Chains A and B, each alone.
Chain A
C-alpha cells in the first residue's frame, strides 16, 4: 500500500541542492558516487561559492561528474586530475578548486601526481572515492582491492605474492608536510553521510587559509563490481572494508601545527 504525500502544514526539511543539475545520474543503483556528488554540491551551495568553485573530474565511473555538478568543471586524463587542479589553482589562487578521483585514478596510474600535489601542499580539496574496484571498466582489481577479494582480474582472489597489498594511500599522504587535513569518511549510513559533509565543509573552508592540501577519502561501495545488492554491499563494506580502511581523521590542523 502506498501512502499518499502530505503537504499542507508541513515545512521543507531536505531537498537536493540547486548546485546539482536536473540530469539523472548514470551510476548503478546504490552507488556511493551519487551521495558524494550530492553532499559536495550541498556544501558548495550552502557556502555560496558556486561562482568561485572549479572542479576536475577523473577517468572512471565519475568521468561524467560534470554532467551533475552545476559548477565550472574540467575533465582530466586518467590519473591526472590533481595535476590539472594544480594548474587551475595556480593561475586562479582565489577560487575553490577540487579534484574528484577514484582508486584506480588516484592510487594507481596517478600515484606520482597524488603524492607530489600533496607534498607541494597545493591548496586544493582532493576527494578520493575508494570502492576497491575499477567500476567503469567492469570490475577489475584496484590498488585498494582487499586481499582475497575476487575481481575480474583477480578471479581467485587478490593474492599478495602476485598483486601486492591493498594500498593505504591516505595513510601515506597524511605523513607529508604539505597535507593540512586528511580524513577518511564513508557514505554507507546516514550518520556517515553527515560526517562526510562536515569533512567537506572543512575541506573547503581550510582552502581559504592556503595552508596545504585537504584530502578526503570516502570508503564507498560498488554493488555491480562487487556483485551484491546495494544493501548487502554496504554491509560488506562495514565488515570488510572498514577494518582495512578505518574511518576518522588522519591529520587535522591542530596536529599539523605541532
Chain B
C-alpha cells in the first residue's frame, strides 16, 4: 500500500509504530537508538521506512553511544530523536544532563518498563522521578509529556520537537510498555506541518567572517557556571508559566478527584464511570505535562475536595508533587501497583469507596 504522508491519515497502529511514523512526518532528521523491550518496534519501523525519507537512522552500539550521537547531531542543528525503555534511559542520563547544559533540543522517548534493575518488560510508571526531577547530575529539567493513547504517542512527537526547539531543551515522551504495544485507531498528522527553526548556534562549519560556534556544557569558572544555572532556571520558570497542560473529567461537582497520568488516567475513567453509578462524585485530573506540573490547578481544586487520590503504576512518585501542590488543603491518598502490574478499574474503585467511607484500604499490592 502506498501512502501519501502529506495528508492526515487514519490507521490502526501499535503505539511504538505510530510514534515512529509520526517522527518522520514531524520532519525528524536523525534517529539514534539501541533495541530494548518494550520499544524495539520504534527502531524497527524507522529502519524499514527510512528509505522513503531523508533521515539518518542508526543503530548504535549502546544507549550511551546513542545519546552522544544525538548530542553531536543536535549540536549540528538536526531535529533528532532517541528512544529506549527504563534501563536504557538510565544509561543515557549523563548525556541528557550534558544536553540540557549545552541547551541542545532533542526528543527522548521512554517507553517505561517495571524496575528497579533489569526488572520486567511489563509496563510501569516507575521513572516519574527520573523524568521530572532531572534524572542525571546537576540542576536541570526535561519537558515531559505523558501520552495516554496511541493518538497521543503520535501527536506528542510533534509537540515534543516543537517545545524542545522553542526552549532549546531536551523534551521527553514518558510512555509505558502498554502504550507502546497496544494497537488503536489514530489519525496521523500530515508531514511538513512542523516548520524547522533557525539554529544559528549549531556547529555546521564556521561561517567566514563570523565567530566559531562552540557547543559545550563546561563552564569551569563558578561565576560563569552560576550564570548558566540562573539562565536555565529562568527558562524552566518560563516553561512552568506557559506550557502546563492537563485534562479534566467531571471535576466540577467532584468530591474526590483522581490524579493520574498516561495509561492510568484511562483506567481511572472507567473507575469514574463505576463510581458515579454508585453515587460517588468522582472526577479526574490528568496531567499531560509532568514537567511543568499542573500544581496551580491542583491547588485551586484542593480546598473544594474531600480527598484527592493519585493513582500510579509505581510506589507513589507523582504523589509527592500532588502533595506539594495541595499543601495540606485536603487529604491526599495514593493507590498504585508496581513492578509491571496494571491496576484494574475495580481495585481503584475499591480504594475510592474506602476513602469515601473513611475506611482503610490497601495502598498497593
Contacts and interface: CB of A to CB of B under 8 A. Distances in A.
Per the CB under 8 Å rule, do A and B touch in the complex? yes
Interface of A: 50-54, 56, 63-64, 66, 70-77, 80, 83-92, 95, 112-113, 116
A88 B203 contact: yes
A50 B208 CA distance: 8
A84 B71 contact: yes
B217 A84 contact: no
A50 B213 CA distance: 12
B281 to A, nearest CB: 52
A194 B158 CA distance: 52
A112 B203 contact: no
A125 to B, nearest CB: 15
Contacts of B76: 54, 87-88, 91-92
Contact of A54 (B78, B98, B205, B217): B205
Contact of B68 (A70, A89, A113): A113
7 contacts: A74-B216, A75-B102, A76-B68, A77-B71, A87-B72, A92-B204, A95-B205
Interface residues of B, number: 40
Contacts of A76: 68, 71-72
A91 B68 contact: no
Contact of B74 (A53, A75, A87): A87
A66 B75 CA distance: 14
A178 to B, nearest CB: 13
Contacts, number: 128
Given A74-B72, A75-B98, A75-B217, 15 more contacts: A51-B205, A51-B208, A66-B212, A70-B206, A74-B203, A75-B215, A76-B68, A83-B64, A84-B71, A88-B73, A91-B30, A91-B80, A112-B62, A112-B65, A113-B64
A84 B72 contact: yes
B73 A80 contact: no
B117 interface: no
Contacts of A73: 203, 212-215
A67 to B, nearest CB: 8
A175 B273 CA distance: 66
Contacts of B80: 87, 91
B218 interface: yes
Contacts of A85: 72
B43 interface: no
A101 to B, nearest CB: 13
A74 B30 contact: no
